[in-house]
Amino acid sequence: MSFEPIPRLAVIGCGLIGSSVARAARASHAAETIVIFDANPAVRERVRELGMADLTPDDPIEAVRDADLVIFAAPPAAIGAACEAAAPGFKPGAIISDVGSVKGAIGDAMAAASPAGVFVIPGHPIAGTEQSGPDAGFPELFEGRWTILCPRASDDPAYDVAVARLSGFWRALGAQVELMDAAHHDRVLAVTSHLPHLIAYNIVGTAADLEEVAEGEVMKYSAGGFRDFTRIAASDPVMWRDVFLLNKDAVLEILGRFNEDLQALSRAIRWGEGDKLEALFTRTRAIRRGIVAAGQESAEPNFGRNRKGV
């Protein structure tokens, strides 16, 4: 598919994801002029030092002025306010999107803050690392990953054109694109992302609080499995606070399912039901193979860590 570059892209919020969008847009020539704004003056200064943007205004309204595509990459709970602050500068016909991990609440907030005549299309690239800030981004972050767009109800054919244009932008950045209802997105991500983060944060906290096992021991012997959890428990605290608050219902519901299953597993251990344990542990192997087959994971043992003796 041919893709006409976006004449002017504005990225609002320049952490890991925002800076990766800007870098990927530059590297792939998906946008001609790139404008970056961040509410934090120190981040704006760093963006200037890194030379990531053509323009780095100090005002959000200036930042979005004349932009054909505006992508909000602020922490999830801040996107609504950021959109409201920038909205007076929106160009008629602009595409207004975001990268937040929750789509129902954020989509509603952006729609409420936006004037008529722009196209609000919430989006979410399923990609990231445990690092944060404008230095953490890199242009390959979205390659081979999925970006989910959650178009809002509309019978305007121009809206469909805008969705196709935004899809093309993400494909130019290397992503695969899927369209999905926002409520379904929030349930799927509660499973594949929000619950795993919640559990990882919890287990790392539990380990840190034990009296009889020293924190140094937890660190020394972490290669037995624990260290994998610490990677995602090192993710951005503000972003994740927002995710759990904005997707509360779906997270609590899936957490209830997880707890039921964990009680059953706990009972099987207590009563020595080895067959039940082995049956579950065999079944879960197949899921891993499916993820590798779907191109979303490295097939190398131990994430390839041992290649370098790490």
Does 133 contact a second copy by CB under 8 A?
no
Position among 1, 42, 153, 294 found at the interface with a second copy (CB under 8 A): 294
Number of helices (H) and strands (E) in the chain: give both, helices first: 13, 8
Does 4 contact a second copy by CB under 8 A?
no
Helices (H), 142-247: 157-172, 182-189, 195-209, 215-220, 226-232, 237-246
- Integer Cα distance of 196 and 192 in angstroms: 7
Residues 27-86, interacting with a second copy (CB under 8 A): none
Site of tokens 């990531």: 52
Is residue 72 within 8 A of residue 79, CB to CB? The reply is yes
To a second copy, the closest distance from the beta carbon of 281 in angstroms equals 4
Is residue 110 within 8 A of residue 194, CB to CB? The reply is no
- Integer Cα distance of 240 and 101 in angstroms: 9
Does 117 contact a second copy by CB under 8 A?
no
The DSSP-derived string for 168-190 is: HHHHHTT-EEEE--HHHHHHHHI
Residue whose CB is less far from a second copy, 50 or 203:
203
Residue whose CB is less far from a second copy, 87 or 233:
233
Quick one: which segment of 5-13, 55-63, 164-172, 298-306 binds a second copy (CB under 8 A)?
298-306
Position among 41, 51, 92, 224 found at the interface with a second copy (CB under 8 A): 224
Residues 255-284, interacting with a second copy (CB under 8 A): 255, 257-259, 261-262, 265-266, 269-270, 272, 274, 277-278, 280-284
Position among 56, 97, 101, 114 found at the interface with a second copy (CB under 8 A): 101
To a second copy, the closest distance from the beta carbon of 84 in angstroms equals 20
